[in-house]
């Protein structure tokens, strides 16, 4: 039995509105839905469970369906199914909804949860690029999730990116020593170095160890919408730890900054 879609944006909720807005923005701007393919699939799966979209799963694709759409980067097929809201003007309505989410306890908790998810995905995506540069398996990037999960301290995305860069360089050095013949040992070495770097940063042993992207606007639609609509973080999306205090600081700063 097909799920019954929620009647309003309020019923769809903050996470659902962000996911749908990200999907529509990705189609419009030809960008990824989320930082990683796995994260994009999870967002589309949640929309499917709510009856907002349809998808061919468990099949990979619909072979013959002229109404099917495809995410431009991930190439995931989907079909819009929310009859209560027409597509024209929906992205703007979703962006307006995200901007107006209150900064009460629930709103702050929702933002922090989403920021945590996006931070992990952004760091994992950067880790993938570093692993690929050194000809390692990009699937090793999934190890980062365990390091973030077990970390007792919240690090900004830019510092997680530094940890990924440093750990991959360590792995490249180890691969040279081993002549690349023991991938299990190399992967474990990279994982151990990730944990060590994160702990040293959390302890305050090093300063200025952060990799901020040259372009402050995130590549994926979900992160862009989070940094510009659901929050007022802007470029500090990368440099502040994902904590309630960071959201309040960013909000207070934008309220006191004069507009030109």
| Torsion sign, CA atoms 204, 207, 213, 218 | positive
Q: What is the pLDDT of residue 250?
A: 75
Reported as a single tens digit per residue, the pLDDT across 209-232 is 999 999 999 999 999 999 999 999
Alpha-carbon gap, residue 201 to 208, rounded angstroms: 10
pLDDT tens digit sequence for 154-166: 899 999 999 999 9
Label residue 32 by pLDDT band (50, 70, 90): very high
Nearest Cα to Cα of residue 78 among 35, 47, 39, 50: 47
Residue 117, pLDDT above cutoff 50: yes
The confidence score (pLDDT) of residue 119 equals 97
Nearest to 147 by CA among 179, 188, 115: 188
Q: Crossing angle for the helix pair 143-150 and 105-133, nearest 10 degrees?
A: 140
205 pLDDT band, cuts 50/70/90, is confident
Residue 258 has pLDDT above 70, yes or no: no
Domain residue ranges in the chain: 9-99, 107-202
**pLDDT at residue 259, as a whole number:** 46
Residues contacting 31, CB < 8 A, separation 6+: 25, 72, 73, 219, 220, 221, 224
pLDDT digits over 39-81, tens only?
999 999 999 999 999 999 888 888 878 889 999 999 999 999 9
Tell me which of 26-30, 62-66, 85-89, 164-168 is least confident: 62-66
Top-ranked range on mean pLDDT: pick from 47-61, 121-135, 193-207 = 121-135
Band of pLDDT at residue 1, cut at 50, 70 and 90? low
Q: What is the DSSP string of the chain?
A: -PPPPPSSHHHHHHHHHHHHHHHHHHHHHT--SSSSHHHHHHHHHHHHHTTSEE--TTSS--SS-TT-EE-TTT--EEEE--TTS-STTHHHHHHHHHHT---SHHHHHHHHHHHHHHHHHHHHHHHHHHHHHTT--GGGGGHHHHHHHH-SS---HHHHHHHHHHHHHHHHHHHHHHTT--HHHHHHHHHHHHHHHHHHHHTT--SS-----SS-S-SSHHHHHIIIII---TTHHHHS-SSHHHHHHHHHHHHHSPP-
Q: Are 260 and 116 in contact (CB under 8 A)?
A: no
Round the average pLDDT of the chain to a whole number and report it: 92
> What's the pLDDT at 223?
98
- What is the reported pLDDT for 26? 98
């Amino acid at each position: 039995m097909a799920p019954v879609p929620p009647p309003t944006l309020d019923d769809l909720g903050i996470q659902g509105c962000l996911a749908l807005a990200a999907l529509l923005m990705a189609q419009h701007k030809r960008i990824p839905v989320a930082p990683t393919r796995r994260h994009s699939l999870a967002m589309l799966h949640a929309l499917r469970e709510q009856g907002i979209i349809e998808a061919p799963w468990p099949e990979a694709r619909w072979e013959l369906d002229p109404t099917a759409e495809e995410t431009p980067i991930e190439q995931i097929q989907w079909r819009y199914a929310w009859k209560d809201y027409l597509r024209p003007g929906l992205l703007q309505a979703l962006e307006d909804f995200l901007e107006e989410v209150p900064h009460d306890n629930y709103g702050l908790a929702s933002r922090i949860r989403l920021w945590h998810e996006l931070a992990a995905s952004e760091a994992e995506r950067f880790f993938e690029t570093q692993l690929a540069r050194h000809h390692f398996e990009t699937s090793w990037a999934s190890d980062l999730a365990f390091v973030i999960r077990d970390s007792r301290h919240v690090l900004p995305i830019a510092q997680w990116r530094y940890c990924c860069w440093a750990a991959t360089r360590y792995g490249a050095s180890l691969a040279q020593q081993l002549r690349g013949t023991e991938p299990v040992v190399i992967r474990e070495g990279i994982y151990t170095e990730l944990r060590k770097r994160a702990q040293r940063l959390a302890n305050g042993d090093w300063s200025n160890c952060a990799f901020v992207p040259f372009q402050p606007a995130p590549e994926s639609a979900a992160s862009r919408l989070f940094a510009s609509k659901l929050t007022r973080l802007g470029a500090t999306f990368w440099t502040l730890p994902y904590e309630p205090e960071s959201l309040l600081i960013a909000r207070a700063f934008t309220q006191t900054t004069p507009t030109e």
